[in-house]
Amino acid sequence: MKRKKSIAFVLLLVLLTDIYLYFPVKLLLQNFSDFGIRIWYSQYILLTIVTVYAILQFYFIKPLKARYQNVMVSVIVSYFSVKGLFLIGSLLIDGILFDFKLTTNALASLDGYSVARAGNLMWWNLGFSFVPAIFLFGGIISGGIRIKKEYVEIYIRDLPEDLEGFKIVQLSDIHLGSFFRRSRIAHGVELVNQEEADLICVTGDLVNFRSDELQGFENILSQLQAKEGVFSVLGNHDYGDYTNWPDEEQHLDDIENIKLGQQLMGWDLLLNEHRILKSGNSKVGLVGVENWGKGFRQSGDFEQAIKGMEDVNVTILLSHDPSHFTEVVQHHPKKMHLTLAGHTHGFQMGVETKYVKISPARIKYKYWGGLYEENDRYLYVNRGFGFLGYPGRIGIPSEITVLKLTSHPHKKFEKSTEKIRHNVAKKRG
């Protein structure tokens, strides 16, 4: 019922917006031919139908494949960003310059010069309204070709010599259902394997909505190689919770399929459990929990995961959602030297430089991207390899994280990045 009310509210808001914009649009079209006016209103009707269909498809009908949903979302977001800014501009022009005569019957009282002036201003308004859409389109192009390798060194006091330089590669939020080309995933695997890591960690959200999105990618992802193997955990999207299943049995089968799929690829999926990795005479305790997120599914059980774990030199936790670190792990008596998370995607847009780090993700998450330290415990939040909803990235490229353990304090927080352009001309897989 709550969902239906929300949808009804959105559709009502769209209708009221269109009623208000009738006169500003009329000013835009005052010099158009009848054919031009028909074209204008045809695109409006088409986009409105697409919007309504997308809402009904997602909430009440079997969803489209994720990659097609992403395209639809891009069209809708671009359309409404233009429409929203045009609405704001129209309100400002109408209220400040024309005392709201443009959207009332008082429009007829304006002289020809004022009407022409209003029409010109509305065209400028429309032009500026397209700026965000241009950025969104650019993000789709750049997001499909840019991959960032970020190198991070983690300082651990009293790190044994056997673990000096221990290398971990992290992938997160791959969201396989969003990709049209398997070649980009293959390129990512190639970049990971180039690091010859001791350990590869995949911190959840392998798919978008359903386990069958994994089909066709198994042979590629099974090629990930590390000395100690590939370890993974589940993210909120790996449970099929965002699909309308005919019955709960199919839902549970889908969860089992995503687990089985990872195991068949040779990954060690950690479900509230731990593993002990040995390097010489030293030991690493690798802990993995199911998804635990503030406002999301909370299947993770940290207590269960560490139960019976022997004494080790270094502890590493794989937990999809960084809110698990702030709510549970940060102050827990059992110290995790390093927690690896993802989930936020860095909102897939933001600005990150040496001096500036801004993203809308910060509104919800205190820790949304990169390396953080609290109480001598580190958290690294990977910004994700794939994308969800909007099929692009603006200022926040796809990420592969390479972390090295070190006992040298002067290297603490020393970071560098390597940006790689994915060759989109590669043979499609």
- Sorted by where each begins, the domain ranges of the chain are 2-129, 146-421
**Greatest distance between any 2 Cα atoms in the chain:** 89
The alpha carbon dihedral of 69, 74, 79, 80 has a sign of positive
Confidence bin at 3 (pLDDT 50/70/90) = low
pLDDT at 415: 47
Report the distance separating Cα 157 and Cα 337, nearest Å: 10
SS (H, E, C) 161-209: HHHCCCEEEEECCCCHHHCCCHHHHHHHHHHHHCCCCCEEEEECCCCCC
Residue 394 token pair: 């603006």
Contact 118, 93 (CB under 8 A): yes
Q: pLDDT of 309-353, one tens digit each?
A: 999 999 999 999 999 999 999 999 999 999 999 999 999 999 998
CATH architecture of 146-421: 4-Layer Sandwich (3.60)
Amino acid of residue 153: E
- Better-scored residue on pLDDT, 46 or 31: 46
Report the distance separating Cα 267 and Cα 225, nearest Å: 10
Contact 179, 392 (CB under 8 A): no
Pick the most confident of 114-128, 134-148, 233-247, 259-273.
Answer: 259-273
Beta strands 273-279 and 351-352 are unpaired
Contact 410, 159 (CB under 8 A): no
Confidence bin at 148 (pLDDT 50/70/90) = very high
Q: What is the pTM of this model?
A: 0.83
Confidence bin at 80 (pLDDT 50/70/90) = confident
Indicate the range of 110-114, 120-124, 297-301, 303-307 predicted with least confidence: 110-114
Q: Which of 316, 306, 297, 217 is nearest to 255 (CA)?
A: 297
Contact 110, 98 (CB under 8 A): yes
Confidence bin at 14 (pLDDT 50/70/90) = confident
State the average pLDDT for the chain: 86
Helix (H) or strand (E) holding 47, with range, is: helix 34-60
| pLDDT of 59 higher than 80 | no
Contact 361, 368 (CB under 8 A): yes
- Better-scored residue on pLDDT, 102 or 18: 18
